[in-house]
Amino acid sequence: MTIDGRMLKELGIGDVEALFADIPKDIRKDRFDLPDGLDEREVVRAIREMLSADLNSEKAPCFLGAGIYDHFIPAAVKSIVMRSEFITAYTPYEAEISQGMLHSMFEYQSLVSELTGMDVVNSSNYDASTALGEAATMCHRILPKKRFLIPEAMSWEKKSVLRNYLRGPGLEAVEYGYDPYTGGLDPVSLAEKMDDNVCGVYAEVPNFFGTIDPAVMRLKEMFPSVPVVIGVDPISLGLLTPPGEYGADIVIGEGQSLGSPMNFGGPLLGIFACRKEHVRKMPGRLIGMTRDNAGERAFCMTLQTREQHIRRSKATSNICTNEALMAVAAAVYLSVVGPKGLEAIAKANISNARNLMTRIDELPGFDAPAFKAYHFNEFVVRTSVRPEKLNKHLARKGIIGGLDLGRHIPRMNEHMLFATTEMHSEEDHDKLIAALREVA
């Protein structure tokens, strides 16, 4: 930046320092403990070099999942979301000049509504874990009780985030167990935890073990008066019955799969959907269709009286900056792949997982899948080799290995979670199998 002397002159001051006369001397900062600036070429080189030795899924097939997946992103999606008009805009407060963003977000809401079978979708939470936190507090607004039921078979990170969101209203997360044979929810354990103090129940499909658990479809029937929250992988909905059809009150999910890269964990896209009767209790931004003064179709933000900039401490959430661009990416992604494309991608994930688990199971020292159930794109492998050692070996072979499950569910320290997607070729699977054979 350069200081424009013409402006100083017009202001009648000799030095820009005069504009900081209101900052008392004793709190002035004199120097930074930072190097001086670099030119653009130097910055690009420095950061390229810093990151160049890292392993990434373009260099090595990645078998990690657990909430973030290496899916294919059509070039058209990247091209659209990189457009200046989308990427450098702000929240569309002035509707008339921001129709592009508003219209795209309305389409995102509509597309995800179709996908989940829900009436209303907000235009994004940060990620699935914070969406779950907001879903639990929303359940409490619907049914003011104090306990929220969650599966034991869940990412510990998600549990931790949830507990932080529950601190405000003073709610408690109570875990119900899973069936040790199928990995699905254990209805006996769930029934035991269910009582008059429960404000909501949460289940995932596919669940943390990658299994497609049909028991989720009976939740609403089992507990008709308790809000049911279902966590989804949106790609799987290219093939699976949407939660809206089996009575879910709220659907959340990680939308990264829909056209956003893994990005070392962010930005992600928190999907948040609910039934229309609860719309005023929902967090986040909503875009509505309306008309302009000539009667022409237009879009604007709506129901803002729920939001922090109007309702302040009484708002349904504090969300301001969200993940709008990722929502646009998801809209473009779903439009580009279309219904047949999404179905094909979902099927490719299922059949790739089937192939890989069958091949791993054939290896001595490995048992896959550890749970006898239907799987989407990931599955648990029981291994006689320590997961950490195994992953180090795989990394040396140019493979990004699976997840050490013991970090999430302590008694599963001999288990790993492997994910595969449409990105993996037969050769990628061959490579993994060969490397696993070496350590077995």
Partner 1 sequence: MYRQARYDTRTVFELGGGSDPCVRLKKDLEDAVPDGMMRKGLCLPEVPERDVVMHYVNLSQRNFSVDNGLYPLGSCTMKYNPKFADILASMPSVTSIHPYQDDDTVQGALRLMHRLEQALCAISDMDAVTLQPAAGAHGEFTGMLIAKAYHKANGQDRTEVVIPDSAHGTNPASAAMAGFGVLEIPSNPDGCVDIEALKNAVSHKTAAFMITNPNTLGIFEDQIREIADIVHDSGALLYYDGANFNAILGMTSPGKMNFDIMHFNLHKTFATPHGGGGPGAGPVGVREHLTKFLPVPRVVERDGKYRLDYDRPDSIGKVRAFHGNFAVLVRAYAYILRHGADGLSEISQAAVLNSNYLKSKLTGEFDLPYRTLRKHEFVISARRQAKDRKVKALDIAKRLLDYGYMAPTIYFPSLVEEALMIEPTETETKETLDRFADTLIQISREDPEVVHAAPSNTSVGRVDELFAARNLILTWKDYLAIEKEEKGSR
Q: Which of residues 75-134 bind partner 1 (CB under 8 A)?
A: 76, 78-80, 82-101, 103-107, 109-111, 113-115, 119-121, 123-124, 126-130
Q: Does 21 bind partner 1 (CB under 8 A)?
A: yes
Residues 6+ apart with CB under 8 A from 417: 65, 66, 208, 209, 210, 378, 379, 380, 381, 402, 403, 405
Are 376 and 236 in contact by the 8 Å Cβ rule? The answer is yes
Q: How far is CA 157 from CA 97, 174, 186, in A?
A: 40, 15, 22
Is position 296 an interface residue for partner 1 (rule: CB under 8 A)?
A: yes
CB-wise, 36 or 196, nearer to partner 1? 36
Instruction: Choose between 200 and 284: whose C-beta lies nearer to partner 1.
Output: 284
- Strand order from edge to edge, sheet including 403-404: 366-367, 378-383, 415-419, 403-404
Residues 242-271 that bind partner 1 (CB under 8 A): 242, 261-268
Residue 413 interacts with partner 1 (CB under 8 A): yes or no:
no
| Under rule CB under 8 A, residue 144 binds partner 1 | no
Least distance to partner 1 from the beta carbon of 228, Å?
16
Q: Are 271 and 243 in contact (CB under 8 A)?
A: no
Q: Which residues of 159-178 are buried (b: 16+ CB within 10 A; e: fewer)?
A: bebbbebbeeeebebbebbb
Which residues lie across from 10 on neighbouring strands?
A: none
Q: Does 309 bind partner 1 (CB under 8 A)?
A: yes
Q: Does 7 bind partner 1 (CB under 8 A)?
A: yes
**Among 141, 302, 397, 440, contact with partner 1 (rule: CB under 8 A):** 302
For position 20 contacting partner 1 by CB under 8 A, the verdict is yes
The DSSP secondary-structure symbol of 35 reads: P
Figure out which of the listed residues 143, 174, 194, 212 binds partner 1, where binding follows CB under 8 A.
212
CA distance 213 to 375: 9
Residue whose pair of structure tokens reads 């709008």 in the numeric block = 324
Which residue of 16, 188, 191, 434 would you call a contact of partner 1, by CB under 8 A? 16
Between residues 198 and 300, which has the closer beta carbon with respect to partner 1?
300
Residues near 40 by Cβ (< 8 Å), separated by ≥ 6?
none
Instruction: Out of 351, 358, 413, 425, point to the residue binding partner 1 (CB under 8 A).
Output: 351
DSSP β-bridge partners for residue 417: 380, 403
By C-beta, is 13 or 192 nearer to partner 1? 13
Decide if residue 33 touches partner 1 (CB under 8 A).
yes
Among 300, 345, 370, 409, binds partner 1 (CB under 8 A): 300
